[in-house]
């Protein structure tokens, strides 16, 4: 039986169009899905939209649209963009789905029946941007939410339902210590442990319908809807059919990809909700930092440094974007992005280092070796050294890649491509071809290069699947095996080459 693996992305608020941050997490999840598939896993990747809450409700009102029309429009927009980005999701989440709503109510009722939900009066400050209550100490000096400085926080005085979190805090801390992989990378684990160092206040899990109507009705009080975070987090289970049987195998192997902005809901609220409902915790939280504009400036419409994923795809193609996000993210600090930086990486890494060599060598073989992959002769120490470098670089993609390892694994491919360019410069097959006596050597050099290229592009299938498939088509490479491994000599000498064109044409 195939082993299972379940990867989730956050479900995104639909109060605006999909942006680069949304594209990023879903693309990284897609890369990891392709990696697990190459290892032979049966995969489930979920991504989608978070349709409830005050923010979405107000966005529909602002456009003067009936809320369901608004949600349908945005949902289609997100789905279309993810498809264009090559995100091969198996399940697209909509929290407005009836089955999701019934399951959320079921989870609440179970926790309520255990006496872990209480009703009480609460006075507090609310940030609509975070859809969260804030403490004074969470705010900036001028009393605003640091994450949403342009949205005014609201003073609220309401009766609501609250989940008791404190009874489970110690148990969660122990779980984190007993399962070193539960939160990665390390700095975020430490941050989470800090959040759990002090006694936890009860978590408000409802909103009165007088204020918010867009949400799941509380099963035990029709005057309230469920707090959007409670409802949204539950998606990870409702997607795989909870509470019906059958979800367990996927759930046991579940990995959540999240940005650092939502560590608290995923690292505190969600595990404690699950404990309260007597359900097992997910296997892993993989946390990433954020993208900021060039120079480290936060992206904003007024500065004009927002990177629009559609605009980048139109200018440079989807793989330029996927490549930049994969190769240039940093594991635990924010990374910079701009259309210029993406263009530079596209031209220099994909174009000059990886793509040009393929077209040069394949075109030369095409012209001088009868449109075929040349037949190799005896190998030299230089040939073996290059082959070894390429196999070593490919190995990361034959193993389990963690979110924070993606930039390292992709850099190894660039390094191998650089080694290949150096090899070609030294071996100079174009000169070797000129003399009858060195023609066999020329054939060997071309063969070694083309077979090594095949390995690199097989590995890159996990990152830039469209371009990698085109490259492998030019080589007419045989279907790669699953589980995948960087194996030499799978491209037979004498194979007819496919049609050869520039893989990553230069863009100014």
Catalytic residues: 19, 22, 127, 130, 145, 148, 298, 301
Cβ-contact 349, 327 below 8 angstroms: yes
Among 110, 175, 264, 290, binds ligand MSP (CB under 6 A): 290
Least Å distance between CB 26 and ligand MSP?
8
10 binds ligand MSP (CB under 6 A): yes
Least Å distance between CB 89 and ligand MSP?
15
Burial of 386 (0-12, 13-18, 19+ CB in 10 A): buried
* CB closer to ligand MSP out of 21 and 394: 21
Taking contact as CB under 6 A, which single stretch among the options 39-47, 80-88, 177-185, 227-235 is the one that binds ligand MSP? 227-235
* CB closer to ligand MSP out of 87 and 456: 87
* CB closer to ligand MSP out of 86 and 355: 86
11 binds ligand MSP (CB under 6 A): yes
* CB closer to ligand MSP out of 221 and 334: 334
Least Å distance between CB 20 and ligand MSP?
7
Taking contact as CB under 6 A, which single stretch among the options 19-27, 339-347, 387-395, 441-449 is the one that binds ligand MSP? 19-27
Among 6, 12, 82, 484, binds ligand MSP (CB under 6 A): 12
* CB closer to ligand MSP out of 325 and 471: 325
24 binds ligand MSP (CB under 6 A): yes
Cα-based angle 188, 189, 191 (whole degrees, multiple of 5): 60
Instruction: Write each residue from 234 to 263 as x if it is in contact with ligand MSP (CB under 6 A), else as -, in one continuous string.
Output: -x----------------------xx-xx-
**Pairing relation of β-strands 132-134 and 117-127?**
antiparallel
Question: Which residues fall within 8 angstroms of residue 301, CB to CB, at 6 or more apart?
Answer: none
Least Å distance between CB 453 and ligand MSP?
32
Burial of 121 (0-12, 13-18, 19+ CB in 10 A): exposed
50 binds ligand MSP (CB under 6 A): yes
Question: Which residues fall within 8 angstroms of residue 454, CB to CB, at 6 or more apart?
Answer: 472, 475, 477, 490, 491
291 binds ligand MSP (CB under 6 A): yes
Among 22, 74, 284, 353, binds ligand MSP (CB under 6 A): 22
Cα separation, 107 vs 219, in Å, equals 10
**Pairing relation of β-strands 284-288 and 183-184?**
parallel
If you search the block for the tokens 């539960």, which residue do you land on? 182
**Pairing relation of β-strands 4-13 and 254-259?**
parallel
132 binds ligand MSP (CB under 6 A): no
8-state DSSP, 482: S
Identify the H or E element spanning 257. strand 254-259
Residues 170-199 that bind ligand MSP (CB under 6 A): none
If you search the block for the tokens 């191998």, which residue do you land on? 416
293 binds ligand MSP (CB under 6 A): no
**Angle of helix 465-474 relative to helix 439-460, nearest 10 degrees?**
150
Cα separation, 224 vs 507, in Å, equals 54
Least Å distance between CB 408 and ligand MSP?
19
Tokens (6 digits) for 256:
């959540």
86 binds ligand MSP (CB under 6 A): no
- Helix extents (H) in 346-464: 356-368, 381-395, 406-427, 429-432, 439-460
Least Å distance between CB 10 and ligand MSP?
4
- Helix extents (H) in 303-371: 309-316, 318-328, 339-345, 356-368
Least Å distance between CB 274 and ligand MSP?
13
Least Å distance between CB 259 and ligand MSP?
3
Applying CB under 6 A, what is the total number of residues that bind ligand MSP?
Answer: 18
Name the residue among 326, 313, 366, 363 with its Cα closest to residue 502: 363
* CB closer to ligand MSP out of 82 and 423: 82
* CB closer to ligand MSP out of 233 and 350: 233
Burial 252-283 (b: 16+ CB within 10 A, else e): ebbbbbbbeebbbbbbbbbbbbbbbbebebbb
Cβ-contact 131, 152 below 8 angstroms: no
Least Å distance between CB 251 and ligand MSP?
15
Name the residue among 291, 340, 278 with its Cα closest to residue 20: 291
Determine the residue with CB nearest ligand MSP. Answer: 21
Helix (H, G, I), strand (E, B) or coil at 494: coil
Binding stretches for ligand MSP (CB under 6 A): 10-13, 21-22, 24-25, 50, 232-233, 235, 258-259, 261-262, 290-291
């Amino acid at each position: 039986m195939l082993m299972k693996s379940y990867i989730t992305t956050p479900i995104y608020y639909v109060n605006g169009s999909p942006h680069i941050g949304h594209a990023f997490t879903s693309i990284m999840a897609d890369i990891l899905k392709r990696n697990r598939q190459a290892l032979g896993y049966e995969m489930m990747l979920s991504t989608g939209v978070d349709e409830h809450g005050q923010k979405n409700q107000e966005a529909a009102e602002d456009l003067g649209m009936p809320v369901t029309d608004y949600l349908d429009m945005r949902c289609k927009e997100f789905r279309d963009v993810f498809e264009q980005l090559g995100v091969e999701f198996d399940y697209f989440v909509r929290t407005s789905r009836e089955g999701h709503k019934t399951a959320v109510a079921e989870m609440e009722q179970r926790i309520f029946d255990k006496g872990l939900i209480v009703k009480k009066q609460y006075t507090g400050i609310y940030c609509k941007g975070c859809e969260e209550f804030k403490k004074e100490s969470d705010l900036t000096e001028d009393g605003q939410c640091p994450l949403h400085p342009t949205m005014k926080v609201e003073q609220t005085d309401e009766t609501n339902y609250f989940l008791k979190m404190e009874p489970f805090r110690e148990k969660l801390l122990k779980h984190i210590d007993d399962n070193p992989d539960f939160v990665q990378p390390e700095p975020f684990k430490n941050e989470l442990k800090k959040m759990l160092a002090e006694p936890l206040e009860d978590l408000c899990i409802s909103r009165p319908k007088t204020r918010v109507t867009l949400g799941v009705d509380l099963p035990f009080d029709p005057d309230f809807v469920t707090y959007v975070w409670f409802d949204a987090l539950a998606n990870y289970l409702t997607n795989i059919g909870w509470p019906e049987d059958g979800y367990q195998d996927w759930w046991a192997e579940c990995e959540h990809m999240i940005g650092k902005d939502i560590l608290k809901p995923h690292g505190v609220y969600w595990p404690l909700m699950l404990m309260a409902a007597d359900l097992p915790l997910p296997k892993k939280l993989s946390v990433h930092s954020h993208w900021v504009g060039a120079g480290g400036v936060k992206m904003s419409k007024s500065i004009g440094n927002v990177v629009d994923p559609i605009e980048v795809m139109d200018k440079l193609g989807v793989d330029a974007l996927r490549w930049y996000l994969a190769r240039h993210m940093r594991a635990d600090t924010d990374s910079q992005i701009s259309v210029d930086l993406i263009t530079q990486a596209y031209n220099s890494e994909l174009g000059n280092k990886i793509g040009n060599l393929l077209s040069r060598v394949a075109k030369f073989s095409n012209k001088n070796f009868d449109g075929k992959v040349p037949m190799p002769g005896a190998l030299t120490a230089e040939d073996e050294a290059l082959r070894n470098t390429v196999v070593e670089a490919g190995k990361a993609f034959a193993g389990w890649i963690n979110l924070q390892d993606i930039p390292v694994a992709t850099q190894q491919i660039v390094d191998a491509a650089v080694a290949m360019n150096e090899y070609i410069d030294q071996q100079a097959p174009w000169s070797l071809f000129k003399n009858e006596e060195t023609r066999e050597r020329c054939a060997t050099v071309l063969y070694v290069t083309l077979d090594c290229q095949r390995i690199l592009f097989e590995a890159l299938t996990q990152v830039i699947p469209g371009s990698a498939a085109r490259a492998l088509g030019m080589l007419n490479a045989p279907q790669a095996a699953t589980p995948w491994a960087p194996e030499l000599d799978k491209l037979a000498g004498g194979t007819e080459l496919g049609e050869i064109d520039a893989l990553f044409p230069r863009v100014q």
